[in-house]
Every structure is written in C-alpha cells, then in structure tokens.
Structure 1
Amino acid sequence: MSSKVTAKNLAELYYDSAKKYGDKPAFGTRNKDKQFFTISFRDVYETGVALATGLIDLGLKARDHVAVLSDNRKEWIITNYGILLSGAADVPRGTDVTDGDIRYILPHSDAKMVFVENEVTLRKIEKNFADLKNITHVILIDGDSITTNGKGNPNGKVQIDPKAGPIPKTTNMADLIAKGKNLRELGDRRVEERVADIKPDDLFTIIYTSGTTGEPKGVMLTHANMISQLRNIPIDIGPKDRFLSILPVWHSFERVFQMGTIAMGASQYYTNVKNIREDLSIVKPTFMASAPRLWENLYQGIQSRIQEGSFIKKILFKIAYGSALRVQRPLHFFKGNRLDLSGRNLVQSITLAVFSLFSIIVFLIPYLILNAIVLRKIKQATGGKLRGSVSGGGSLPFHIDEFFNTIGIPVLEGYGLTETSPGLAFRTPKHLVVGSVGPIIPETEILLKDIETGEILYPPKKGAKGEIYVRGPQIMKGYYKRPEVTAKVLANNGWFNTGDIGIMTYNDTLKIVGRTKETIVLLNGENIEPVPIENKLVQSPFIDHVMVVGQDQKFLGALILPALEKFAEYGSTYEQLAASKAVHEKILQEVKNSIRTENGFKSFEKIVEVRLIPKAFDVGDELSAKLSVKRHVVTAKYQSLIESMYEVKAQGQAYARR
C-alpha cells in the first residue's frame, strides 16, 4: 500500500480516488429485498462535496467539530466526506448512544452541529437539548422532509416534538445536499479552499472511548495519523477486492479499512450481526475486519453443523482436520512461522525439522484429498472467496485462530488501540505466526519495560514479558481537553504507554499476554472500565475486596474476598468461606443485585460469574504502596480460578445445546 498513497490529507485522498476509480462501486447498503445498492467513487465524492458546501453555507467553519450519531450505512461515509471536505472533524458514535453520552460528549467535544441517523436518535437529541448549548444545527440522515406539527409521521415525514423545548434549526441531509449542488452550479468553490487549507496535524476525528464514569476520553486523531496507517499497513488490496463491514463504522479499527478501500479502489458493503451469515454468501467478500466474537460464532456454527451430521461426516471431518494440522503446522515451521517464545537451539530445530518432514510425507496425500472433499465446503461459510480477515479489538482464542488458518481461511490478527489509529502490529500471509499479532508495522518503534522497575527489556531481549511502549506517526495528538490524562500515557519524547503486556517472540512478532491498565476488552469489542463496577461492589457490607476480570472473554467475572465477619456461621477463615457453596451463592446474588441496569450499568457490564479468593490482598504482593490492585499479579496468581468461571459456563452452554 505504501507506494500508492500520496495524498497529504484524507480530503485529498477522497479526490484522488474519485478521479482514479470513477464509476466503480465504492460503498453498498442492503435493502429489505436483500439487495445491495451501491454508490460509485465519483458519486460519493461529488455528493460529499455538495454536502460540504451545504455545511459551509450553514456556518460550519474550518476545524469545527461535527457529531455523527449513526450506524453502518453508505450515508455514514457521505456524511464523513462532507465533514472532512469542509475542513472540519467528526465526533462519531452509534445510534445506541446513551443520554449520558449525549450530555457529556457533544458539549465536551465542542461539536457545533450533529447528524442523527433516524427519528429515534433525533428524539434523544430533543430530550437532552437543554444540555447541548453549543449545537446550532441538527441534520437528519433519514426522512424525506421535516415538519413541526407533532402529529404522527405521515408519508415518511419526520416531526419535531414541540414539547421537547427549543431546538436549533433542523434540516434533512438530502435537502442540504441539494442546496450544496445548487451553490456549486452557481460557482461556489469554498470546498476547494477549505481542502487546500487542511494541515497534516489537523484533526479528522475525535473518538470517545467507552467509559462507565460518565467521562469517556476523546482521542484526537489527525490526518497525518491516518495517512501513516494507509502508508504502512502491509495488505495487498486492489480494485477487485470486496470488503464486508461489520464492526461499528466509527471505530478506529474499522476506519482504517474504510480508508484503505477508498485508497485502493476496493468496494465495501455494510452489514450487521443479524445479516452477517446471509451477507457473507451474497457479497462473497475477499477481505473483512472483524472482532474475535465473530470468529467464535462462526466456529461454533461450524462445530454445531458437524455434530448434527452423520457419523461418517463426523469421522471424515476429524480425519480431514487432523491431516490438515499435521501438514500446516510443519509448513509453518519451515516458513519460520511456528511460534517460538524461548529460542530453539540447533538440536531442537533439527529434531522439529525431522518430525515436520516426516509428518508432511505421511499426511500430505490424505490432506489434499480430504481438503478438496471436506474442508473446502466448510470455507463456504465465509462466502468461499475470503483471502484474509484481520481480527482486532481483543485477542483471538488460540484454538479458533489455528482452526481457521488450518482450514484455509487466513485470519491476520492485528494489534492496536484507538490512541494509535489503531495499528501497531499486523500479521501478513507471509509472516503468519499463529498465537501472535504479527510484526510491528513500519515506522513504529517498540519498547518492552519491566512492569515493576521500568527497566527496558526489549530491545534486545526476546521472550521477556514487559509493558508495551510505542512511538510512531500513528500516535494520537492527545485526549481532547484532558492534558493531565494525556501526560499520564504520552511522554514528551513521543512514547505512548499502551498498558498492555507483551513478549517479542523469536519469530520477531509480538504476542500480547495481558494488560496492566484497567480497561477490559470483551470478545465483542466492548471496552469496559472495571473501577466503577468494583467501587459499587465494595460498598456492599458482604464484600471486602474485588477485582473484575473478563479480558477477551464473552462476559465479565469477578474475584471476590467476602467479609469474614458477615459469614461467621460458615467458617472462621477465608479458605473456609471460599469453599462454601452457600457463601458463593449469597455473594453472587449480592453482585447481581448491585450491578444492574437500574443502577446505571450497561447490559455488558453485568457480572455473570464470581469466584471467592482464599486470602486478603497484601501490600507488596497484590497491592501497591498506594493500595491499588496490581491486576497483572492477581491475574497470574488466580489464573486457574479465573479460567474456571469461563470453563463452567462454556460446558453449561454446550450441554444446553445438546
């Protein structure tokens, strides 16, 4: 990709792609008849220019901020074009935005205008408008027109509720685009002036990270940040590729691929969790960005179909997959892509080479035959044309990672954060080390530091576990209006503390093994701050200590130290309480009563399982001198206890499926 991206900012990129790819389909949205309606590169650009002209005419100034509350659809990208071509920056969020998010994010971001996807989202703005002092205009993406009579919704018109209080001028996006086109025909060229004035360090977006405290952080990303990602992501994408977009379109991970398809002339089709299986067969994508949860769902679906099949089919699959493993693992070894965390010596390498060669000789023919008969049919679950998928937003479970790569569906796991635009490391087809997130991308520097002492371990030491620090052109400008928080993670010399723990493998790839910072990322990509949940739980007289867990899992769990004096009838030591089923049930019920939506928590913040720990947290061990929990220490010490929460739940689900 690096040789193809020459634009200095994203607005220039949009122009270059429209000129180069013209009438080729750029983006598509599915209708009720399961058909995808597309818009060409030229049309999306020209529509975006018209929208930008309309926004400028409404009073939008260069470097202003515009909020966008919308989900995956081609109108989202038109909105994005319009905002960026007017020289402004977007502040995106989905339609599931909460009242609290609206009241905090829109004022804090200094957004002057807000795009809303539909009438439901418009009602949220009306409800909270008294707190949105900075908003001058609301722009509705859906609807043919807007009235203010508040008498139903005839003929597709959207009404503004007069009881909602004073609201700014509300207009329909289609009307704004039409106005912009008229102004362009009359010679209006303010868009060109705005684009020429965009500086590399100007913001193109402010993405607010999820939080339960009511104060999410606004990550400032610049045009230069995103251009560096397009310049350095090592994927071979071209005009013949088709991307299926399922992750929230405003997430930084999805936006890299969105911008990548624009830069390379690929087509992108928007889908959702409900339609993903059908759309995989309709679109037959060649690439897609995804979260680990998608692959887990596909894996479980494939396994269910296999178990429902005949005895012969089960045996054939078992032999086919076993043969594939015994061919693919040796091939990975000979390519230098077999995960190596310790540094194999010469004897070990020779031994592995001999066994690998023997395995290939024995299993190659069965593999080739059964791959054609069995495994290729399984690949049809993704449409049959998938050349690769990048999984991000959490670690991919090893067995699922190996499964898809073994049957011939390359899953190119990546690693990054919203604060890093997000790409830091990336697996490629040539450097596909299952169990790692791939090599560090070009122009990026990495340090691994000892968690306790801060001593630099890597470079040069491979195989050592340390906290990850990175520096490069993709690192954010900072957190919007939060200099004190920015200073905690971003040093003056440009090094960003990711809060993650990693190992540099002897394959020269990065492996993520944990987190030192508090944010927990579930398998579905939801970011959760555990501290507010923990603060709520320790208010209970029955709980002394608690640590929420769930990194890369489907749901949250909690390690809990029960209050000894409250459960005296069950024992006099923590070990006795931890072994008591009655105490466990009482604590679990207390947790569920505390962490629920009625108390202000979101559905994915609920604690599903708990485990009782047999000793109190001690300073110098589980606690720091400041009495804060050392999460990595507790996680390592009680790893088996944590794993048991998810093993029991998985076994219960498997039993229920039978």
Structure 2
Amino acid sequence: MTSTITELFASQLRMGGHRPALRSKRHGRWTTTTWDEWNRRSRAIAAALIEAGVQRGDRVAILSTTREEWVVADLAILMAGAVCVPVYPTLTAEETAYIIENSGSTVIFVENPQQFETLTTRPASTVLAQLKAIVVFDCQSLRDIPHHESQRSLTCFEVSQLVHVPSQVLADFVSLGETLLDDPEKARQLDERISNVSGDDLASIVYTAGAVGRPKGVMLTHANFAFEIRTARETLEVSSRDEQLLFLPLAHIMGKLLYVMHYEIGGVISFAENMLRAVDNAAEINPTFFGSVPRVFEKYYAVTEKKAREEGKVKERLYRWALDVGHRTAKLRRKGITPSLPLVIEHRYADKLVLSRIRSRFGKGLRFAISGGAPLAAELAEWFEAIGITILEGYGLTETTGASNINRPYRSKFGTVGPPLNGVKNRIADDGEILLRGDNLMKGYWNDPEATAEAFHEEGWLHTGDIGYIDADGMLKITDRKKDLIITAAGKNVAPQNIENFLRQSPWIAHGVVIGDGQRYLTALISLNHQALTRWAAENGRPSDPDSLVMDPEVRAMIQLDIDSINHRLARYETIKDFALLADQFSIASGELTPTGKIKRNVIAKRYASTIEQLYAKGGDPST
C-alpha cells in the first residue's frame, strides 16, 4: 500500500499527466496546470533546493497565503527529501522568527516583497543567518497582505539588498532547476532523493496556534498523510471527477489536508483569489465541494437574512415560505421518508423562485461542503440543508493530521461531528475528555519530548483537550474545550463555545466571549460587527464611530433582543445576565485571536479585567 505523498503523486502521473490538476485566476482569467506541468515545476524546484544545500530531513518554510505556487513548492520540498514548515502570513515578525528558528528551517519561500521585507525587521532578521536561500513567489502581487497606500512597497531587488542571503524569484529558481536537470547526474540525484522517501519520514512540521504560550511543532509523517487521505476518499466518496475550491490557509492542517487529498483522488484544485472572493469564485468555476470554517457560513447566512428583510414584506414572506418548504422537505428526506406529491410540487416552485438563487452563489455543481476548525451551530447546518446545500461537519486536530471524525454524505447528524474515520477510534475518559487513536496520530512535538509524553495516554491514546460524548448513534458530540469549561459558584459546568456560537449568529455581533468562572451568573463581552452597524447608523442618521455605537441605547437594545432570544434556548444557569459592548474588535494583530480566528480567552480576560469587574460589581444576580 502506498505510504508516501511522492508515491501518490507518481501514481497520478501514471493515470494521465495530461489531466487538469490546478486552476488559478490570473489577470482576470482562469488558467489550468496539468499534472505533468506540476511535476516539471516541482522537480525543477527540488533540484534547485538540493543545489542550494538542502539535505534529507532539512526543514524548508513556506510563508504565503493559499495559492498554486504554495502546493508546487510543497511537493518540491518533499521530492528533495526535506520537510515543509508552513507559516501563517498573518503572524507577527516575532512569531514568524520563532517558527523559523525553532524548526531550524534552512530555506524559506515567501509570497511577495512585503513578506520578504518582514524577514529584514527585528526580531525576524535574527534568523537570517541560518538561511541558505530565500525564494519569492511573486514580485508584483500584494494579494491579501494589508498595505497602506501612502507607503511605497520595496521591490524584490531592493529587499534582497537588505539581506546577506541568496535570494531569487520563483521563476528564476525554476529556470535554474530545469538547467540543472539537463545534467543526467543531477537528474539521477533527484530521482534517488525521491525514491528514498519513506512513510516514516517527516512530511511536515505544522505549528499549532495555541491560545496560551508558544506554538508547538507537530511532526506529521508521509504515512500519517497517506492514511488520512486514503480514508477521506473512501469516506467522502470523492473521485477524479471532483473539483475543489480551496481558500483555507495552507498553514492550517485542515487546508493542508484538503490539498493533499488530491494526491489520492486526482481531480482539480481551484484556488480562490482570496477569502473575500471565495463565494464569487465558486459561482465562476462550479466546484463540487469545498472546505471552510463556520465563520464563512455564518456570514453568508447573515447577509442572506439581512437582504431578505430589506427587500420588503412581500419578498421576505416569499423567502420565509420557501425556507419553510425547504426545511420540511429536507427533514423528511433525512428520515428516509419520501415527501408527498403536493410537497414535492411546492418544493419545486420554492426552489425555482428562491432557494436555487441563494444556492447558485456557490456554483451549479456543489455536492457538499465541509466545515471544521470550530463548532458549527446545528441551526446553521439546517438552514443550509433547507436551501439545498449539505454541510458535513468534521473534527480533528493538527495532532491527528487534520481529521478523526466527520459526518458522511450518506450518514450525518446535525450538532455532531459524525462517527470516526475508518481505522480511527474514539474513547471518552472518566472526566469527559475525548481520546483518539489511529494511524493518523502525530509522531510527536518537534524538540519537545516532555510535551509529547503528556499528549499521549496509556496504550497510545491521544489527549485532545476537548470534552464530549458519543451518542446512541455512534456520533461524537463536542461540548467544549476542557480548559475552557466555566464552573460557576453553584458548581454548574457551562460550555461557553455553544453560547458563543449562538452569539455569532446575531448580525450585530462579531465575537462574544462568555465570562463566569467562579461567579454566580454568566456575563459576556461583546465585540460589535462594525460593518453591519455602520450601515445601520447611516440608514438611521446616527453616529457610526465605534465609541458612539457602544454608547448608543438603540444598539444595546438590539443586542439585548438577540441575547434574550438566545437565553430562551438555554438552561437557566447558562443564560447571559449582563453584557458589555466593546469599541474594539478582536483581531489576530491585537493578539486576541489565533491565526485560525479562535478566541484567546486568557488574553481577553486580562485585557478587559476592569470591564469584567464592573459587570459583577453590582453584586447578586441581575435576574433576581
């Protein structure tokens, strides 16, 4: 059985190198790269890496957003027998420097001059001495990197003059490699590197975006990925006829897994221009599936609901009717019941008039979407099912190579992350912690044997740090992070993530953080959705600056209405009794969110300690 990524890639070449493999939008047009072209470019880059002094087992970093060059470079790194170290482009210079230094990376691929320039600023510049080469993907594109118009970007040449490390543009690096491969000895040397890759070799060191402390480098082998993608193909029933729209960060294990899955299934990966353009790109290329985090689904739902309300009472009633028909039809089909003829006819009209138009934003060929990285509200999954889009929620960790459980197209249950993958086992510890075991478990943490030992339970079970249970249907339900559980003064255990998921469904709320550990009742810190509230303020002739919005009694009243609605769905001890509106939005740059958008509770609790203190200063329970 094939156990390395390079072997899987070779098998795709044997099945037909002329087939489309990658698609990117360049200068307004979608261009296609075949498997043969991908192979040619990756082999050339691999040869150039070897020439630069990269040895088997060396680490090579990639600092870039999701794009075609990322996966071409990743495969080249593996062909050279080296290990890929993905780095989020949203990290600070200090965080970037830590990953490069800790991993011992000797070469780095960067996206553009802006990322290149990051390496010249302290403290990132301190790691330049360990680098043998810097390769820049694109000297023109700014893509998603924030940039102030009044500042002139340095060119690749100007930045290269600031460092004493050999630096090249990717196109030149490819040309160098192609020239090297004209030498039979160099070609033989590369072929030998490729053939010597084994399943036990490291394929990637993926740094976890920890909410507390330094990130840890998770060591994942070729065999780990081979197991995952083989199982994913069987589970999701995907094939070479499928086309995926990819926009998740490739520095995140979910994005990485979705990409490497194509080494097993074939098919086409189409790269979105960026996260903001992903839905528009879907309508252009008609993907059969894509993966996303819940926030993308939440935003699409909120925008659709808002548009329905704004189009007048007649159109809103039509939308509500169509949605109700969609819900009733989907509910029957989920139970295996054939809808009645009148309902079939009613659904046909509802779909033609409303549902198909909402659904078409994601293209005409979508079979399903995958949600991961954070909990997906069951109500949100039901809404998408009603409009005709199946969302399969999954669960996993970086330490499990991305997935351990997922709902199937033929077996799913809202509010759960589905049964385990074939070959993966779930177990619930006495304290409710989820334990996992399977061939997808990491080799360990890079240069951290103590943390590795702490991560594994007896008999090879991995501690996930998540709390949950397995229901009667064999589906895993995640209730919260073990360390995030709130224990109130009355001894009640509260899972804040569930409540925070409800809060994010409000069109006025960007993030909500539930507070209440050791307290008599729960409160919340509310970070406002500035974009939605700015539009509301303009329509109602009210000040739109953040400080004015948090003091506006109408804004507070709107938030209170949404929180009252949420409270009706919760047990009394879970209800939010008071809240504070924050003028600032949580962000990655300010340190309140991880690169994957998860809340850093400790940072927020410390930063807003005085605000939290005021919420409880009145004493007692506001509801009594």
Quick one: which amino acid aligns to residue 387 of structure 2? I
Find out whether 1:55 has 2:49 as its counterpart: yes
Residues 326/599 of structure 1: CA separation in 2 closer, same or farther (3 Å cut): closer
- Aligned-partner Cα distance in 2 for 1:594–1:243: 32
User: How many Å apart are 1:331 and its aligned residue?
Assistant: 2.8
- Aligned-partner Cα distance in 2 for 1:260–1:46: 20
- Aligned-partner Cα distance in 2 for 1:87–1:377: 48
- Aligned-partner Cα distance in 2 for 1:593–1:26: 43
User: How many Å apart are 1:44 and its aligned residue?
Assistant: 0.6
Find out whether 1:171 has 2:168 as its counterpart: yes
User: How many Å apart are 1:214 and its aligned residue?
Assistant: 5.8
1:387 to 360, 367, 388: 367
User: How many Å apart are 1:30 and its aligned residue?
Assistant: 1.8
Structure number with greater Rg is 1
Report the equivalent of 2:220.
Answer: 221
Find out whether 1:237 has 2:241 as its counterpart: no
Report the equivalent of 1:281.
Answer: 283
Report the equivalent of 1:503.
Answer: 469
- Aligned-partner Cα distance in 2 for 1:289–1:19: 28
Find out whether 1:493 has 2:490 as its counterpart: no
Q: Deviations over 1:578-633 (max 9, x none)?
A: 99xxxx99x999998999999866696574996667699xxxxxxxxxxxxxxxxx
User: How many Å apart are 1:90 and its aligned residue?
Assistant: 0.6
2:479 to 497, 502, 513: 513
- Aligned-partner Cα distance in 2 for 1:225–1:237: 20
Report the equivalent of 1:306.
Answer: 308
Report the equivalent of 2:135.
Answer: 139
1:129 to 125, 149, 161: 125
Checking the alignment, whether the CA contact within 8 Å between 2:244 and 2:269 is kept in structure 1 is yes
Find out whether 1:93 has 2:87 as its counterpart: yes
Q: Deviations over 1:551-583 (max 9, x none)?
A: 655525252689xxxxxxxxxxx879999xxxx
User: How many Å apart are 1:212 and its aligned residue?
Assistant: 5.9
User: Is the partner of 1:493 in helix, strand or coil?
Assistant: helix
Residues 399/183 of structure 1: CA separation in 2 closer, same or farther (3 Å cut): same
Quick one: which amino acid aligns to residue 433 of structure 2? E
2:11 to 11, 16, 31: 16
User: How many Å apart are 1:316 and its aligned residue?
Assistant: 2.3
1:290 to 285, 289, 292: 292
Report the equivalent of 2:99.
Answer: 105
Report the equivalent of 1:194.
Answer: 193
Quick one: which amino acid aligns to residue 298 of structure 2? E
Residues 497/319 of structure 1: CA separation in 2 closer, same or farther (3 Å cut): same
Q: Deviations over 1:196-222 (max 9, x none)?
A: 211211110011112465621111111
Report the equivalent of 2:444.
Answer: 478
Residues 602/288 of structure 1: CA separation in 2 closer, same or farther (3 Å cut): closer
Residues 509/365 of structure 1: CA separation in 2 closer, same or farther (3 Å cut): same
TM-score normalised by length of structure 2: 0.76
Report the equivalent of 2:253.
Answer: 252
Residues 243/126 of structure 1: CA separation in 2 closer, same or farther (3 Å cut): same
- Aligned-partner Cα distance in 1 for 2:386–2:581: 44
Per mean C-alpha deviation after superposition, the further-off stretch among 426-435 and 487-496 is 487-496
Number of equivalences: 526
Residues 590/551 of structure 1: CA separation in 2 closer, same or farther (3 Å cut): closer
Checking the alignment, whether the CA contact within 8 Å between 1:89 and 1:203 is kept in structure 2 is yes
2:319 to 283, 292, 317: 317
How large is the Cα RMSD of the aligned pairs?
Answer: 3.6
Checking the alignment, whether the CA contact within 8 Å between 2:592 and 2:604 is kept in structure 1 is no
- Aligned-partner Cα distance in 2 for 1:443–1:576: 43
User: How many Å apart are 1:313 and its aligned residue?
Assistant: 2.5
User: How many Å apart are 1:251 and its aligned residue?
Assistant: 1.5
Checking the alignment, whether the CA contact within 8 Å between 1:26 and 1:262 is kept in structure 2 is no
Checking the alignment, whether the CA contact within 8 Å between 1:153 and 1:159 is kept in structure 2 is no
User: Is the partner of 1:210 in helix, strand or coil?
Assistant: coil
Residues 593/315 of structure 1: CA separation in 2 closer, same or farther (3 Å cut): closer
User: Is the partner of 1:325 in helix, strand or coil?
Assistant: helix
User: Is the partner of 2:404 in helix, strand or coil?
Assistant: strand
- Aligned-partner Cα distance in 1 for 2:19–2:282: 21
Gaps of 5+ in 2: 141-151, 487-494, 505-509, 525-549, 552-577
User: How many Å apart are 1:312 and its aligned residue?
Assistant: 3.0
Checking the alignment, whether the CA contact within 8 Å between 2:444 and 2:452 is kept in structure 1 is yes
Checking the alignment, whether the CA contact within 8 Å between 1:592 and 1:607 is kept in structure 2 is no
Checking the alignment, whether the CA contact within 8 Å between 1:106 and 1:132 is kept in structure 2 is no
Quick one: which amino acid aligns to residue 472 of structure 1? G
After TM superposition, where is structure 1 displaced by more than 4 Å over at least 4 residues in a row? 359-362, 547-554, 574-579, 587-616
Quick one: which amino acid aligns to residue 67 of structure 1? A
Quick one: which amino acid aligns to residue 232 of structure 1? T
Report the equivalent of 1:329.
Answer: 331
User: How many Å apart are 1:514 and its aligned residue?
Assistant: 1.4
User: How many Å apart are 1:372 and its aligned residue?
Assistant: 3.4
Sequence identity of aligned pairs in percent?
Answer: 27
User: How many Å apart are 1:304 and its aligned residue?
Assistant: 2.2
User: Is the partner of 1:91 in helix, strand or coil?
Assistant: strand
Report the equivalent of 1:559.
Answer: 515
Gaps of 5+ in 1: 1-5, 145-151, 336-356, 452-465, 521-529, 531-546, 563-573, 617-637, 642-658
User: Is the partner of 2:392 in helix, strand or coil?
Assistant: coil
User: How many Å apart are 1:86 and its aligned residue?
Assistant: 0.5
Checking the alignment, whether the CA contact within 8 Å between 2:22 and 2:270 is kept in structure 1 is yes
Checking the alignment, whether the CA contact within 8 Å between 2:436 and 2:463 is kept in structure 1 is yes
- Aligned-partner Cα distance in 2 for 1:325–1:548: 28
- Aligned-partner Cα distance in 2 for 1:325–1:404: 9
Q: Deviations over 1:357-376 (max 9, x none)?
A: 8x857744423432333322
Find out whether 1:70 has 2:70 as its counterpart: no
TM-score normalised by length of structure 1: 0.73
Quick one: which amino acid aligns to residue 409 of structure 2? P
- Aligned-partner Cα distance in 2 for 1:577–1:229: 40
User: How many Å apart are 1:432 and its aligned residue?
Assistant: 1.8
User: How many Å apart are 1:261 and its aligned residue?
Assistant: 2.2
